[in-house]
Amino acid sequence: MRLIAGTGRDDAIHDFQDALESHSWSWNVLLVDSEGPDDGQLFVRLSLPAAQKKSVFWMVQLMESWFLADIQALKLYYGKGFRET
């Protein structure tokens, strides 16, 4: 598994599109922060092929909170630089 983090939504989408071409044999997944309710235009704004919809997952506040729920794992990963507060 390879995880690539973009610095912003546009970078992440660009990286995802690159991965679709360069790693076509892999299951490429894009995690997108929805930044609000789905108005039915999110996929349109992403400019992704309809065939890729099953590989796009929308993060919501609950999911983002889950990432922060395991403080011990975060401490282990970030080491001394991690501030719990």
User: Structural domain boundaries of the chain?
Assistant: 9-60
pLDDT of amino acid 12: 78
Q: What is the token pair recorded at 56?
A: 């796009």
Residue 63 has, within 13 A of its CA and on its CB side, a CA count of 9
Q: What is the pLDDT of residues 13-56, one digit of tens each?
A: 788 888 888 888 888 888 877 666 667 777 777 777 777 778 88
**67: exposed, middle or buried (Cβ count in 10 Å: 0-12, 13-18, 19+):** exposed
pTM tops 0.75, yes or no? no
Please state, in angstroms and rounded to a whole number, the distance separating the CA atoms of residues 54 and 36: 20
